[in-house]
Amino acid sequence: MKVQIVKDILSANEQIAQENRRLFDEKGVFVLNIMAAPGAGKTSLIERTIEPLRGRLRIGVIEGDVASSIDADRIARLGIPAVQINTGGACHLDANMVCVALPRLPLDETDLLFIENVGNLICPTNFALGEHLKVIVASSPEGDDKPYKYPGMFSVVDVLVLNKVDLLPLLQFDLDYFRRGVEALNPDVAFFPMSCKTGEGVQEWIDWLVERCRAG
């Protein structure tokens, strides 16, 4: 009986996610679900992506956090439409939260929508939001063992950004060990080493994203 309840919740989420996806496709909005541990640099990645695409693609952002509007405020300061979802304790976004937030965005004038999930390497894995791409932002100070410890999320993502590579010389981070862990779980993932602080690696990500976004 308990299993049945869990199954119903999951399939309800899947159903709403599919409705979100239909709306995105109808409006021609390409959608990314950005996931990461707390403080890995999800908002910094979005900020870094906004600047080079200004005038090329129209961007919108949904920010998910347990509390505060810190992240949506950062995005709004760039003149980009941003909606903050506060989950009030919940450890992930779900499709219904996104569905409720959508009317507050100008979807007819949006080409690319970032949904920044709650900082959590586990729970968001199982909740589709209607996105076209799942992105994980790992960061080098978290250590090279994260694919081995959090295989669920590393397995399901389409894109892996390794942020804060400017700190690598100061850390004991074995990039080969990290990559072997990722490849064993997800050999086809698109991998972008990057520093959102210095800008290193950002251009490769932008070029790839523009191509994927145009392919739909």
Residues that bind a second copy (CB under 8 A): 2, 5, 37-39, 65-68, 70, 89, 91, 118-123, 139, 141-143, 145-146, 148-152, 164, 167, 170
> Measured from the CB of residue 142, what is the shortest distance to a second copy in angstroms?
3
By C-beta, is 148 or 191 nearer to a second copy?
A: 148
By C-beta, is 112 or 196 nearer to a second copy?
A: 196
By C-beta, is 63 or 131 nearer to a second copy?
A: 63
- In sequence order, which residues have a C-beta less than 8 Å from that of residue 104 and are 6 or more positions away? 83
Cα 86 to Cα 101: distance, rounded to the nearest angstrom: 11
Task: Give the number of residues written for the chain.
Answer: 216
Cα 113 to Cα 210: distance, rounded to the nearest angstrom: 13
- List C-alpha distances in Å: 21 to 41, 56, 108, 206: 26, 23, 14, 23
By C-beta, is 28 or 152 nearer to a second copy?
A: 152
> Measured from the CB of residue 151, what is the shortest distance to a second copy in angstroms?
5
> Measured from the CB of residue 96, what is the shortest distance to a second copy in angstroms?
15
> Measured from the CB of residue 58, what is the shortest distance to a second copy in angstroms?
28
Residue with tokens 């992930």: 92
Residue 180 tokens, joined: 């072997």
By C-beta, is 107 or 123 nearer to a second copy?
A: 123
> Measured from the CB of residue 72, what is the shortest distance to a second copy in angstroms?
12
| Type of residue at 129 | L
Return the SS3 of 174.
Answer: coil
93-127 core/surface letters (b: 16 or more CB in 10 A; e: else): bbbbbbbebbeebebeebbbbbbbbbbbbebbbeb
